[in-house]
Structure 1
Amino acid sequence: MSFVTGAAMRSLEEAAFRRGVSAESLMDRAGEGIARRLLDHFPQPGRAVAYIGKGNNGGDALVALRYLREAGWQIALKAAYPETEWGVLPRRKRRELVEELPNALPEGSGPLLLLDGLLGIGARGTLREPLARLAEEMAWLRDSHGAVVAAMDLPSGIDADSGEGRGVVADLTITVGVAKLGLSTPAGIASAGRILLVPLGDLPPPEGSALELFGPDAFPGLLSPRPHDFHKGDSGRIGLLAGSPGMTGAAVLAATAALRAGAGLVTLHVEPEFLPSLAAPMPPEVMVKVSPTPVTDAFSAGHDALVIGPGIANMSKTGQADLLARLAKPHPPAVLDADGLNFLATAGKTALLDSRHLITPHPGEFRRLAPDLAEKDRLAAAVAFVTRHPCTLLLKGARTLVAAPGEATRFNPTGHAGMASGGQGDVLSGVAGAFLAQGMKPCDAASLAAWLCGRAAERALAKGPVTTASDTLDELGGAMRDWQERRR
């Protein structure tokens, strides 16, 4: 699913109008789709307040408000201007709500949801009064009352193309038809929060985009139901080189993640010094093979895929040298993470990276791999890296990017700031490795793993605002179901 500029989005709308599609029908379907996304996100009714300006963005919010009310929500309206100054369609959608709406916060329990419908994609510049006052009120309720801000299409006050601008900071942005390019920039990411897409058949995304929004609507079929005669041999055999003395938790997390992502056989290859420091219990389904030559064993065991790197900082020097030597020879597809990448960077062996490798660096690891690219725009840096090294790159950050030679770069919309805790990368590596072992293309394995781990962490928000790696593991199955049901 492509990202488009504001001008390109307007061209899509104008083409739909020329085909006889009415602006009102687009608004009705957009508002209903926004409401459906919100109801999926908030299954228990609460209170919803629409903050609107004069334009059609406010009309989308009013339609969504109607569907929320039908689902049992208490609703209210905060309008920046008298109704006589609104556009034709917003006035019509206001009348469809029938009764007068309070302009104070509704009473009741449940989530407090603020719908940002102040401005649409055509707005430019800093928010002015009376819009600025309502934006400040939303920010205050978010900070002091735990309100969740949901932006209609784009947070008010940010530029549709660059993401720049000071305005509303949203927790959710429900973008309509096609994602706006400004949502993918560092500034846009900081304002948009979680991005949810409402696809509309009358607004088909253009083909050939260099950047795609990754999600179940655009990439169906990646988690199809298993055939009824499926068995563990079909699920893939995965070998892990993970953990070392004092860092055994990484091995536990990566191995558990591989199991929960569906790997049929999971084997952890470790040096003898590993076992005495195994502070966390390894799942009983994981086979632990102890050997003075775990690297040789892992590469020669006939695994369908390998996961190399989580927690191996204290691997013996002999093991490190063996690993670098083995990476230069034929081997199964492999996820390279954490210390596996650091070994490559320190040894100056990044030239070994090729199509067999799915690498998952965070920004610091990426800087060590490619110091000359670290200061570039993230998208440009990712594309430049896979042009130089023909591997699949999963570049972690506030929004993960997945780049591979000959593929459009993919933008992952899931996850939240509460995931900023140790071990999340170990989980991600295990999930990606499981998909590689099942025969998935590296680009698909990386993208799906990022989406699922982010979505699992979102599901874990029910426990509180901070999500540990173990919390992400606990919700991984539910995230897989969410993907299959295409509700996110």
Structure 2
Amino acid sequence: MSHVGAREMRAIEEAAFLRGVDPGELMDRAGEGIAARLLDHFPLPGTAIAYLGKGNNAGDALVALEILQRAGWQIALRSAHPESEWSPLSRARLDRLGMPPREVPPHPARPLLLLDGLLGIGAKGPLRPPLSVLAEEMRELRQSHGAIIAAMDLPSGLDSDSGELHAGGVIADLNLTVGIPKSGLLTDSAAGATGRLFLIPLDDLPIPDRPGLQLITPATIHGLLPPRPHQFHKGDAGRVAILAGSEGMSGAAALTSTAALHAGAGLVTLHLGPDTSISTPPEIMVTRSPDRVREAFTTRADARIIGPGLGKADDTTRKSLLDHLADNDLPTILDADALNWIAEAKRLDLLGSQYLITPHPGEFSRLAPDLADLPRAEAAARFVERHPCTLLLKGARTLIASPDEEMRINSTGHAGMASGGQGDVLAGVCGALLASGHTPMDAATLAAWLCGRAAERAITYGDESPESTTATHTISNLGGAFTDWRERRR
């Protein structure tokens, strides 16, 4: 799966119309897909207000609004232009809805959802009145009244090719891109304006099959989570050996091992030093040894996780780890302090194809200081050209890169994941998926999506907010995230 700019998207749409595809039916399917994602994301009805320009993405918003109303939502419309100036398709959807634009209700039911249908993919430059007036109203409701903004295709004011957000542009919390991902949505500059990315696939708008950055969704990357055979046993599920934790940082080891357990590992063994105290679920095997590095590399395992919470160790321990990494051929996650030790020792030559590394931006800058200021996709591509490992580069848009494979970019998650321990959970999920037989690229792909989706579910189905979401909440929602992937609902 690839992505397109505005000109190519219009050409794909025109080719569909020349084949006989009805533009109105295509709009209806787009609006239905948008509504389905919104109803999944908000299980209880609230108030939805559509902010409308005069183009066809206003029609997409109106179709979605009609379906939300049937599902019990209160609805309202805010229009930037007289109806006589609207596109014919949008006017027809307004007639079908049967209500005129009106003011925002004084006491709207919650959640308060704002549908951004002001501008489409062809718009360039800053927003001007009357569009800028409605965009400012949306910003105020988001900032001061807890409203959630869902963009139709892309946020108004965001350049669909470059990802630049022009002056007065809308900052969305959810972005529902129709048919094919737009190139600008996948850029570093767009990450702060797009929020959670949803793809609304449409059979009549085929996604170009060509090299390029691939958006991770269940609808576009198939076959990664087949049903387990009925005769499955824990050996088939995989054994994970974890070298993590130290005195004062035992939480990292507990989160990593618990996440591996909840991500389906058949047997999880946590290797600690002799004096590290820890509390873990009873299903996790905990071993303590003065030479835990050797124990972690000699115990029977299908995958290893090395690094979370290792802390500051003596030179002997560090040398032992580097020596074992040089001899290791088992699929292995390298995270946190393992990456810092490799960077300090300047041993990036160890990063072969058996390793999946999971740095955050600070760790990546220590591994490759000359790449740290480049655009993230370019930096990731250059890194795996030098070092034939699989790289999961964390961030608001997690990137996954590996030599000779198309780079992937994650679509799930929210700002509440900017909290301690989320990286430990990600490492544990990666390890469980590696142990079950996934390639490092596919394990990283699934883990990034599942952890982001689990954190979303903590808000959708629990009492959490972005501020209160913790790594433990992410772990407890992993089961639902697995189900969402299998059912291709997100």
Instruction: Report what 1:123 is aligned to.
Output: 123
Instruction: Report what 1:424 is aligned to.
Output: 422
CA contact (8 A) 2:79 2:101 kept: no
Q: In 2, Cα distance between the equivalents of 1:271 and 1:320? A: 14
Q: In 2, Cα distance between the equivalents of 1:124 and 1:314? A: 51
Q: CA deviation at 1:104?
A: 2.6
CA contact (8 A) 1:32 1:63 kept: yes
Instruction: Report what 1:146 is aligned to.
Output: 146
Q: CA deviation at 1:353?
A: 0.3
Determine whether 1:105 maps to 2:80.
no
Q: CA deviation at 1:151?
A: 0.3
Instruction: Report what 1:475 is aligned to.
Output: 477
The amino acid of 1:79's aligned partner reads: S
Q: Deviations over 1:442-488 (max 9, x none)?
A: 00100110111111111112412221111111111111111111111
Q: CA deviation at 1:28?
A: 0.7
Instruction: Report what 2:360 is aligned to.
Output: 362
Instruction: Report what 2:183 is aligned to.
Output: 181
Does the residue aligned with 1:289 lie in a helix, a strand or coil?
strand
CA contact (8 A) 2:333 2:357 kept: yes
Instruction: Report what 1:190 is aligned to.
Output: 192
Determine whether 1:216 maps to 2:218.
yes
Instruction: Report what 2:250 is aligned to.
Output: 248
Q: Deviations over 1:139-166 (max 9, x none)?
A: 0001111110000001001100111123
Q: CA deviation at 1:317?
A: 3.0
Match of 2:408 among 410, 418, 426: 410
Q: Deviations over 1:400-442 (max 9, x none)?
A: 0000111111010111111111110000000000000001010
Q: CA deviation at 1:298?
A: 1.4
CA contact (8 A) 1:351 1:389 kept: yes
Instruction: Report what 2:346 is aligned to.
Output: 348
Determine whether 1:320 maps to 2:318.
yes
The amino acid of 1:272's aligned partner reads: P
Does the residue aligned with 1:283 lie in a helix, a strand or coil?
coil
Instruction: Report what 1:75 is aligned to.
Output: 75
Q: Deviations over 1:8-55 (max 9, x none)?
A: 211211111121112111111101100001000001111100000110
Q: In 2, Cα distance between the equivalents of 1:127 and 1:209? A: 33
The amino acid of 2:434's aligned partner reads: L
Q: Deviations over 1:218-277 (max 9, x none)?
A: 1122122211111111100000000011110000000000000000000011221323xx
Q: CA deviation at 1:310?
A: 0.1
Does the residue aligned with 1:4 lie in a helix, a strand or coil?
coil
Instruction: Report what 1:309 is aligned to.
Output: 307
Match of 2:385 among 384, 387, 397: 387
Instruction: Report what 2:288 is aligned to.
Output: 290
Determine whether 1:464 maps to 2:484.
no
CA contact (8 A) 1:244 1:315 kept: no
Alignment of 1:27-46 (within 5 A): 27-46=27-46
CA contact (8 A) 1:49 1:105 kept: no
Does the residue aligned with 2:33 lie in a helix, a strand or coil?
helix
CA contact (8 A) 2:74 2:109 kept: no
Does the residue aligned with 1:3 lie in a helix, a strand or coil?
coil
Q: In 1, Cα distance between the equivalents of 2:207 and 2:274? A: 54
Q: CA deviation at 1:210?
A: 1.6
CA contact (8 A) 2:271 2:289 kept: yes
Does the residue aligned with 2:290 lie in a helix, a strand or coil?
coil
CA contact (8 A) 1:76 1:106 kept: no
Deviates more, 1:440-449 or 1:20-29: 20-29
Determine whether 1:7 maps to 2:1.
no
Q: Deviations over 1:287-346 (max 9, x none)?
A: 111112111111111210000000001334322111100111133100000000000000
Instruction: Report what 1:93 is aligned to.
Output: 93
CA contact (8 A) 1:3 1:209 kept: no
Q: In 2, Cα distance between the equivalents of 1:99 and 1:117? A: 17
Instruction: Report what 1:59 is aligned to.
Output: 59
Deviates more, 1:129-138 or 1:330-339: 330-339
Q: Deviations over 1:355-398 (max 9, x none)?
A: 10000000000000001111111000000000100100000011
Q: In 1, Cα distance between the equivalents of 2:14 and 2:211? A: 20
Determine whether 1:300 maps to 2:298.
yes
Q: In 2, Cα distance between the equivalents of 1:160 and 1:101? A: 28
Match of 1:263 among 241, 262, 265: 265
Q: In 1, Cα distance between the equivalents of 2:183 and 2:375? A: 14
* CA root-mean-square deviation: 1.1
Q: CA deviation at 1:106?
A: 6.8
The amino acid of 1:67's aligned partner reads: I
Number of aligned positions between the proteins: 484
The gaps in structure 2 that reach 5 residues or longer are: none
Q: In 1, Cα distance between the equivalents of 2:386 and 2:101? A: 59
TM-score, normalization: structure 1? 0.97
Q: CA deviation at 1:102?
A: 3.5
CA contact (8 A) 1:75 1:101 kept: no
Does the residue aligned with 1:155 lie in a helix, a strand or coil?
coil
CA contact (8 A) 2:420 2:470 kept: yes
Does the residue aligned with 2:311 lie in a helix, a strand or coil?
coil
Q: In 1, Cα distance between the equivalents of 2:355 and 2:384? A: 11
CA contact (8 A) 1:245 1:314 kept: no
Q: Deviations over 1:178-222 (max 9, x none)?
A: 111111112211111101110000111111232000011111221
Match of 1:232 among 231, 234, 237: 234
